[in-house]
Structure 1
Amino acid sequence: MKLKVYADRMSQPSRAILIFCKVNGIDFEEIHIELSKRQQLSPEFQAINPFKKVPAIVDGRFNLFESHAILIYIASAFPGVADHWYPADVSRKAKIHAVLDWHHLNLRRGA
């Protein structure tokens, strides 16, 4: 089953997921959630993401939201994603988590 990415291209975190999938050759279906029309508040989307924000993904029977969690999942779950995106080595992986945490707390504050 094809990965479904729920996104609005006006959302920077959504664009990060879409670009990551394209760069890594991941077969996915983009499902546009138009934030300006408040589509993220629909009961159907709330069943995918109870926080009512994009991006979110559905991979088979598995739902996930929050862009950093999605990036980590995709890098780990899909074959062919280069190791430099999310390395198997624990110390290198910890460095990536540090940067992702810094990014969220500094660049995305208030978003």
Structure 2
Amino acid sequence: MCSSNGGIFVKMGQHAATLAPAVPAEYVERLAQLQDRAPESTWAEVLEVLNTELPGGTTASLDFDAAPVGSASLAQVHRAERRGTEREGAEVAVKVQHPNIQAGSRRRMEGLVPG
């Protein structure tokens, strides 16, 4: 359930995995898998987030590596190199939130919490 719902559910599962002995061992074992196997967003989704959240040519001033360095519950990190600035060639890390984290989490929570 945590993986398929993504976002905050992955984060909650990761946290629950650290709560032994308060959480049954079989749950801890299963949820611990979330700590190093978070789902990745596609490159198209990453570009959409960048262009929506940072309008004005952010992707034009950076040369991105499409493969993420790592992915976590709420975001993933990409290597990039600056271009067209006085810091041309400088390597940077860009953390990009997975798409629809807020809206998706809110929708899923509304379905789980009695109203």
Taking structure 2 as the reference length, the TM-score comes to 0.27
Higher Rg of the two aligned structures: 2
Taking structure 1 as the reference length, the TM-score comes to 0.27
